[in-house]
């Protein structure tokens, strides 16, 4: 397998930032669930976010961010599968007619959404403990990947009107910022200094 390049890390970071900002914008306009067309917009921009997180997972897998063991690699691949299934739900729920997208047959796929976010939170802890990434990129995933841990309680405590801003703001501060760090500091995940032209 070819070594991961700084340019590839930067592209993945840009994808993560773009996805997070897209979904954050939709949440701030339509809320975390939306109604009617707004619901579909939130679903499809959520898919953009999920694709961005898959970019992050790819970098984590290629850099062995949570360890060099087979178990660590398997954990990242399992997370990618769960997130992939959640992405299929976002796509289907965003494009299918109402009578189909709300069917019970989609419920198992829907469960993968929160499971994937909990998985990312667990990965961020392991990444910080393992210490294969350095600088801010060792620790910022703890901020970014606490999204579900922060926003779900906010929704339960203060309701949709206020929690939408918590969710959107956390996406910007967490995942969008994490993507920018990958763009500007690829050396912190590659284990060596990288020039600006790499």
Chain segment 138-197, per-residue pLDDT in tens: 999 999 988 877 877 777 777 767 778 888 999 999 999 999 999 999 999 998 554 333
Distance between CA 198 and CA 186 in Å, rounded? 9
Band the pLDDT of 43: cuts 50, 70, 90: very high
Q: How far lies 68's CA from each of 73, 105, 191, in Å?
A: 7, 38, 14
Does 192 fall in a domain? no
Residue 122, domain extent: 6-187
In a domain, 1, yes or no: no
Q: How many domains does the chain have?
A: 1
């Amino acid at each position: 397998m070819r070594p991961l390049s700084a340019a590839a890390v930067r592209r993945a970071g840009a994808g993560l930032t773009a996805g997070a900002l897209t979904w954050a914008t939709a949440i701030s306009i339509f809320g975390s669930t939306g109604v009617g067309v707004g619901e579909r917009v939130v679903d499809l921009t959520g898919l953009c976010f999920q694709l961005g997180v898959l970019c992050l997972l790819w970098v984590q897998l290629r850099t062995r961010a949570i360890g060099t063991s087979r178990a660590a690699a398997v954990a990242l691949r399992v997370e990618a599968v769960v997130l992939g299934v959640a992405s299929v739900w976002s796509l289907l729920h965003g494009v299918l007619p109402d009578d189909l997208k709300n069917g019970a047959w989609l419920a198992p796929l829907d469960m993968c959404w929160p499971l994937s976010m909990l998985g990312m939170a667990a990965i961020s802890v392991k990444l910080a403990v393992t210490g294969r990434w350095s600088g801010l990129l060792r620790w910022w995933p703890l901020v970014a990947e606490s999204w579900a841990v922060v926003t779900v309680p906010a929704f339960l405590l203060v309701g949709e009107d206020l929690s939408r801003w918590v969710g959107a703001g956390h996406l910007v501060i967490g995942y969008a910022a994490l993507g920018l760090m990958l763009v500007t500091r690829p050396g912190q995940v590659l284990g060596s200094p990288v020039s600006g032209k790499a």
